[in-house]
Amino acid sequence: MGRAGKRSDPQGPPVEYQPFPRGTVHFIAAVILMAVATGALLSILMTWLSHFLGGDIDASVGAAILVVLILVLVTATFLLTRGRTGAHRFLLVMNIFYVGVLAVAAIVGGLASDTSVVATGIVGTTLAVAARFFYRSRRYSECIEYFRVIWTWHRANQHSQQ
């Protein structure tokens, strides 16, 4: 039996639909924080690319990197809203990757006396750590459990009606 006496197994009655299940605010906050941290990561990647390649990088390269990073974030988040709980593990790994790269960028920027990279790295790291707080919160877990339950029931009943 799930929360509030609702059955979460596929054979039970329909799960009560909630337009904003408990934890939705934590879910949205984590996504927004990661999206902004993605912008910080892109800024640092473009700075590093221009430094290592010895010149200005075309804006289309930055746009392409941004599209890839955002698509990865959006796809994993979308799969999570469709009850695919493996996407949560992926988002946690992606979050740790962001924290690591942004923290290293802040340290390297500090050693190289590049204040813009230091500031971007610190802000990005802070946002990614805040997103991790939401990803690991109880309310966020309740939200993804709700998604898992409703989609498990939906898939089970969709196949039984065909």
For the chain, the structural domain boundaries read 22-161
CA 1 distance to own-chain centroid = 29
Question: Whole-angstrom Cα distance, residue 157 to residue 160?
Answer: 5
**pLDDT by 10s per residue, the chain, length 162:** 444 444 444 455 456 777 888 999 999 999 999 999 999 999 999 988 888 887 777 888 889 999 999 999 999 999 999 989 899 999 999 999 999 999 999 999 999 888 999 999 999 999 999 999 999 999 999 999 998 988 888 888 776 665
Q: What is the C-alpha separation between 36 and 120, in angstroms, rounded?
A: 11
* Residue 66 near residue 42, CB atoms below 8 Å: yes
Which two three-digit tokens encode residue 40?
A: 């910080």
Whole-angstrom distance between the N-terminal and C-terminal Cα of the chain? 27
Report pLDDT for 13. Answer: 47
